[in-house]
Amino acid sequence: MLRNLLLSAGLLITTWVPSVPAADVTGRWDVKIISTSNGEVHGVAGFTQNGNHITGWLGPSEADPIPITLALRQNKLTIWTHPQPGRNVEFARCDVTVEGDKMSGTIDSDKGAIEFTRTSHEPPPAVKFKSGN
């Protein structure tokens, strides 16, 4: 009897996996990049989130956004930029850790640091991407 009870408890423990919700990144963010090649650069970002699905933009301003792709796993956010012809970007990929209203991490693995500070929890306005020059 004790053996069956221990076996049942062991099965319950090994099959129960807690679900860790994704961090919330919805809102408008101020961005600071410290790159090894260009020094300190400032910009803004806006993210809208539904569970683990995130859409957004990043750029020097809302009027000059750059298309991005985002992936969120728990509190780890990865951002890939998609520059258009005639446009430069500070990084191709950044990986940040979300901690409430702050995010920080690296750009292109070893080319600098990036920091995000949330300025609003409201979903950001839609932006229009400019075509390249």
Residue range 105-131, pLDDT digits in tens = 999 988 999 999 999 999 888 787 776
Q: Which of 112, 86, 115 is nearest to 102 (CA)?
A: 115
Q: For position 125, what pLDDT does the model report?
A: 80
- Report pLDDT for 107: 96
d(CA 3, CA 27): 53
State pLDDT tens for residues 24-51.
Answer: 999 999 999 999 888 999 999 999 998 8
pLDDT at 131: 66
Residue 107 neighbours by CB under 8 Å, 6+ apart? 33, 35, 90, 91, 93, 94, 113, 114
